[in-house]
Chains A and B, each alone.
Chain A
């Protein structure tokens, strides 16, 4: 049976879990955001590079 009543220690127990959850959310958010941002940029630049290399040289 779950016991979610931390009694007189709730002031210490719940902030510890809350801060941990926030840090995990921040790590997931920033990590995925960082990877997504650079993947899009790399793919866009690779397309530009391919277009430049296929363009006829005058």
Chain B
């Protein structure tokens, strides 16, 4: 039997941890974000992209987080499905709106970069289309969860949908390798090291860390809300039976 992480196995321990961790991650995100923006707006214009290079400092981290949030959603859904653990389901449910928001940001900021650089807002390119499919998976998950009143049934159905959607993650990641794509290939995690100068790489990595810290903070806050919601509903049910 696979042991559930101790962190996820005890709501009391989680609430004690998240009480100080959520604001700490939030402060970390603000500090890293300010440093990243400062360096990003101090960097020289790119010789090809001009000032639109600055959109990369928010577009790329949003795209990373769209995948990372789905991995969190998938992992939590797996634990929820196997162990039927309420906190794992709360974590899955809390990750979905954040993932949807980061995916929407990746699509919108990418489009705002694409218009001046590619001459179009949108192309049915493998990378763009697979990210759109990822966004639709998030929306489908959110719609499914809000459509069912029974938490146990909703958790199971949502977890199955989330696990099916995991298939799309490698497609998103390798779409630029598998198909001829207008979207550029990986520049940061390229073979042989990052294919961009430090003057752009440093703010990009700082913004990436800021987005991860922001996701961590927002995720913990939302999981806490889910735990309170379940406690309120349990108390309501006990009061009704008293």
Assess whether A45 is in contact with B228, with CB atoms less than 8 Å apart: no
Given contacts A42-B235, A45-B236, contact A16 B113 (CB under 8 A): yes
A-B pairs, top 9 by smallest CB distance, nearest first, are A35-B225, A45-B235, A38-B228, A42-B232, A6-B51, A34-B225, A42-B231, A38-B229, A41-B232
How big is chain A's contact interface, by range? 35 or more
Residues of chain B with a CB closer than 8 A to A20's CB: 58, 62, 105, 109
Which of chain B's residues has its CB closest to A15's CB? Answer: B112
Assess whether A27 is in contact with B109, with CB atoms less than 8 Å apart: no
B116 close to chain A: CB less than 8 A: yes
A31 close to chain B: CB less than 8 A: yes
Given contacts A9-B116, A49-B242, A52-B239, contact A31 B232 (CB under 8 A): no
Residues of chain B with a CB closer than 8 A to A31's CB: 218, 221-222, 225
Instruction: Tell me how far the C-beta of A32 lies from the nearest C-beta in chain B, rounded to whole angstroms.
Output: 6
Identify 10 residue pairs between A and B in the complex whose beta-carbon atoms are under 8 Å apart, listed by A's number. A2-B42, A5-B51, A6-B51, A9-B52, A12-B113, A13-B112, A20-B58, A20-B105, A37-B225, A49-B238
Main DSSP-derived SS at the A contact region:
helix
Assess whether A48 is in contact with B112, with CB atoms less than 8 Å apart: no
Residues of chain A with a CB closer than 8 A to B145's CB: none
Residues of chain B with a CB closer than 8 A to A12's CB: 52, 55, 112-113, 115-116
Instruction: Tell me how far the C-beta of B40 lies from the nearest C-beta in chain A, rounded to whole angstroms.
Output: 10
A17 to B37, CA, bound (A): 10
Residues of chain A with a CB closer than 8 A to B218's CB: 27-28, 31
Assess whether A9 is in contact with B239, with CB atoms less than 8 Å apart: no
B119 close to chain A: CB less than 8 A: no
A39 to B228, CA, bound (A): 5
Given contacts A15-B112, A32-B221, contact A41 B51 (CB under 8 A): no
